Structure 1
């Protein structure tokens, strides 16, 4: 009876997580957001949506604000815009740890929320001659959906992690990791207090083999072993690389000698095209990925051994 009840409970939790993942991804990748290009109304509305949930689930603010604003230059020919400097923002908040000593250390978990808007000849679109909304349901509404799913689970947990956790959603990733670079260069805490960064970029298209790919698992002690152990009963088949950090926002941390792991579920033909839409998202997979990364986050935030940076270049 206990086994049956446990199985039903897990199934119910996964169903709720799947629905939550779908809700967030659907909103962020809707036409209303118009591709979430930095400096646009859609980008600002996406940031406001993320901020709403940061506040709802009790994240503390740095410097009295969930926003960390910065500027970036937009080339003419992107998103139907003239060349211009625009203002956008990272969305940032934290939960303080429970251990009197370890709470001074921070684990960062993040995902970028910007995308290519309407595309254009100077953009990163794979269809530069097509002016159409690039909704980015996988890239990277899926990563933000996972981030918000994980935040909800952390906030509802009866036991707080020993280390503090920073949640951050970056803008300007597509233009060259600009939001994460700005964050690393303008940290609201001492740099040596940041121990590990977990990043989610394109985690919404889990394949038939249930593979979640990660690079950088070996940039902190026993990271590869941890990720392998977490695979048990996860419903996933992790493809784990000790190095191979990759090309998303976690690279900004790794280049600053901060341990960093990037998670994704693989590429696809709709990458950086107007066809990256909600209908192609694997929500059951998104729930499994969110649960796996949540388990990784909590494990690292409670790590018994010191978290030191391991260079994998």
Structure 2
């Protein structure tokens, strides 16, 4: 009978968490928030919502002057049309009376109405980019983890800091500012867990677990735990990648990055809440709880520099685009793509979903980072050969940027 009561309790907890995830994402990705563009009034409403959740959960403010917010200036646009806006990081924490803390973070900004680096894959300026997966999913997960640890009656060996970053879509501006102007002692940070686009888990593709190479602890535990939980996964050792964990890695803090991959709706107005796999996201949150349980039984973990210099992995502006969606979970040689957007250079050249790009012009493409580095070498209207592996057949396509 006690076992049955326990199972019913667990089922109730899971259902409550899934219900909360839906509530958060439905609001953050609603049309009324107009895509949460950096520094906009709509993004400020999203920030108000996050702060309200932090208050209800019982998190203490960890921003500036006893508040939850940390103000910073962000630049938007491309030359010569550059503007400056005021944006805010949002910080809350659980004080367990310990010296060291674990950080769980997610960015809450998105592309607004398509006016700040709107999708290179679609002409959608003026439309609401709701950003349900990117990154209402990560924010919702961060909030629910905050709720879990605030209510957890087990004494933890670490404090918990919960961060919602703005300016990620403009080049990690919020996290960079925070790390240069910290409101807490960076020496007392054990590690940082980054949740960015965790809402589209699929059993065939799984989740990419990044930052593995930044600590021996991750190397020993991250993949092993995922396997024990029957979570399909790929590993990325790099500490630098296209999200806010990069800023922490550059300050010698071990990082772990969860990402369920790009998709046809990435950076488009169609990234909506009805496409989120809520049960899959709940599974990934359980993974984080379990990895933190192992962290809780461990002293402060070590930090390692990763050998692959992936500075080009941060979000940047390029002169050209191929208009393809990378499969970030692919761990083979080359850049595997999930699709090529209609009317863009890749689609015009004949690229298709599932293609593996191994060379662009004279540049060998070993992975997504090599692809991003290569893009910076080309000019608009330039035509180059692209070598593609299509189901074992090697093709050469001519692509014009």
Q: Indicate whether the TM-score tops 0.5.
A: yes
Say whether residues 1:38 and 2:33 are aligned partners. no
Distance (Å, rounded) in 2 between the aligned partners of 1:163 and 1:261: 17
Q: Out of 303-312 and 234-243, give the one that drifted further.
A: 234-243
TM superposition shift of 1:298: 4.0
**Which whole-Å deviations, capped at 9, do the CAs of 1:243-299 have from their partners, x for residues lacking one?**
364210001111121111110111101000111011111111111112211332343
Question: Secondary structure of 1:231's match?
Answer: helix
Bigger radius of gyration, 1 or 2?
A: 2
Name the structure where strand makes up a greater proportion of residues.
Answer: 2
The reply on whether 1:166 has 2:168 as its aligned counterpart is no
- CA–CA distance in 1 between the matches of 2:205 and 2:150? 27
1:120–1:129 Cα contact (<8 Å) kept: no
Distance 2:4 2:87 in 1: 49
What are the superposed Cα offsets for residues 135-155 of structure 1, whole Å, 9 maximum, x if unpaired?
000000000010011111111
Question: Superposition pairs for residues 66-77 of structure 1, below 5 Å?
Answer: 66-75=68-77
Residue 6 and residue 121 in structure 1: after superposition, are their counterparts in 2 closer, same or farther (change >3 A)?
Answer: closer
Alignment-derived partner of residue 22 in structure 2: 22
Give 1:310's aligned residue. 304
1:220–1:308: 8 Å Cα contact kept in structure 2? yes
Matches within 5 A, 1:175-254: 175-209=170-204, 211-231=206-226, 234=229, 236-243=231-238, 245-254=240-249
**For the Cα contact (< 8 Å) 1:211–1:239, is it kept in 2?**
yes
Deviation (angstroms), 1:124: 4.5
Question: Is 1:52 aligned to residue 47 of structure 2?
Answer: no
Quote the offset at 1:188 in angstroms. 1.5
118-127 or 53-62: bigger deviation = 118-127
> Displacement, 1:305?
3.0
C-alpha distance 186-3 of structure 1, shift in aligned 2 (>3 A): same
Mapping 1:132-147, distance limit 5 Å: 132-147=127-142
CA separation in 2, counterparts of 1:217 and 1:286?
Answer: 20
CA distance in 1, matches of 2:203, 2:34: 30
Alpha-carbon separation, structure 1, partners of 2:150 and 2:54: 10
Larger RCO (CA within 8 A; separation ≥ 6): 1
- Which residues of 2 match residues 47-126 of structure 1 at below 5 A? 47-62=47-62, 63-75=65-77, 83-98=82-97, 103-120=98-115, 122-126=117-121
Report the number of matched residues.
304
Q: CA 1:296/1:121 → structure 2, altered by over 3 Å: closer, same or farther?
A: closer
TM-score in terms of structure 2 length: 0.71
Shift, 1:161, TM fit? 1.4
Contact 1:214 1:241 in 2 (8 A): yes
Contact 1:106 1:195 in 2 (8 A): yes
